[in-house]
Structure 1
C-alpha cells in the first residue's frame, strides 16, 4: 500500500476511535471546555513523547547504544504518540498531508536531535494554532509529522511496521 493511502487511513481510523471514545464516555465536551480539550491534547502529546524518550534512554549519555528495547514495546510507545499527532491533525484539518510534503522536510540527524526538535515543534504548533494562522500551523504540523516519521526510522521502525501495528491494535 502507498504511504499516502496509509496516512489517510490512519487519520480516518483515529477519527473513528475518538468518536467511539466520546460516545462511550458520556462526558459532553462542552462540560470540559474546548480550551481544556485543546490543552489536554497537547499535554498528552508531550507526555507520550517524553515516555517514548524515556523508553529509549537516549538522553542518558552514559548509556551506550547497546540498550535493547523489545520491538513491540517500542512500537506501542511510538504509536501512543502518533495517536495524538493524528488527533491534532484531524481536529485542525491538517489531515491533508502526503508523502511528497513529508519527504520535503529536512530531517534531524540522530534520535536526540529529533526528540528535541519535535518537542520544540509541538510548542510552536500550539502557539500558531492559538494565533489562528492556519498556513503557518499546517507547515509546522508537516514538519512535526515528518520529523516524527524520521524519529521512527532512527529508532529502527519502518512506517510499514508502525502502520501494521496500528491496524492490529486499533482496527475498528
Structure 2
C-alpha cells in the first residue's frame, strides 16, 4: 500500500475541509475518533457478522470496501492530527485466530487505547488491526488503495456541493 500517497491525499483533504469550514484552529481529535467509531460500526453492520438472529447475507463486497475505506480516511486523519506520517510507519499485519466479530471488537479496543495514548505505537497497532480486519473480510491492499482514491474524489465533490 502506498501509505505516503494516502497520507498526502488525506492531509490535503483535511486541510481543504478545515479551511472551508473555518476549523484550522479547532482540536478535532475527539470528533475524528467518534467518526471512526461510527464508521467501524457502519462497516460491521454491512458485514452482518454479529447478526446471529438473521439469515440475510452480508452486503456486496463493493459496499463493504467503501465502508472500510471510510474508516481508513479517519485513521489517516487521526495520524495526521497527531503529527505522524508514512515514514514513521512500519505496518505489519498481525497473525490472528480471532473471528470477524472479535476482530471488530479488537479494533474498537485499539481505537480507545489510541484515544488515550495518542502515541505512534498505539496508532500503528490500531492501523494494523484494521488492516487485519480487511484481510478477514477478503479485501486486498490494492483494492483498498483504489477505493480510497475513488472515495477521496467523492469527498472533494461533496465539499464543493456543500455536503
Task: Find the counterpart in structure 1 of residue 120 from structure 2.
Answer: 138
Unaligned segments of structure 1, at least 5 residues: 130-136
Task: Find the counterpart in structure 1 of residue 98 from structure 2.
Answer: 109
1:78-93 correspondence runs (5 A): 78-93=68-83
Question: What's the RMSD between the two structures over aligned residues?
Answer: 2.0
Does residue 6 of structure 2 align to residue 10 of structure 1?
A: yes
Distance of 2:91 and 2:73 partners within structure 1: 18
Distance of 1:156 and 1:49 partners within structure 2: 16
TM (norm. structure 1) is 0.80
Does residue 50 of structure 2 align to residue 54 of structure 1?
A: no
Unaligned segments of structure 2, at least 5 residues: 157-163
TM (norm. structure 2) is 0.84
Q: Contact between 1:102 and 1:142, CA under 8 Å: does it hold in 2?
A: yes
Does residue 111 of structure 2 align to residue 147 of structure 1?
A: no
Distance of 1:108 and 1:143 partners within structure 2: 16
Q: Which has the higher helix share?
A: 1
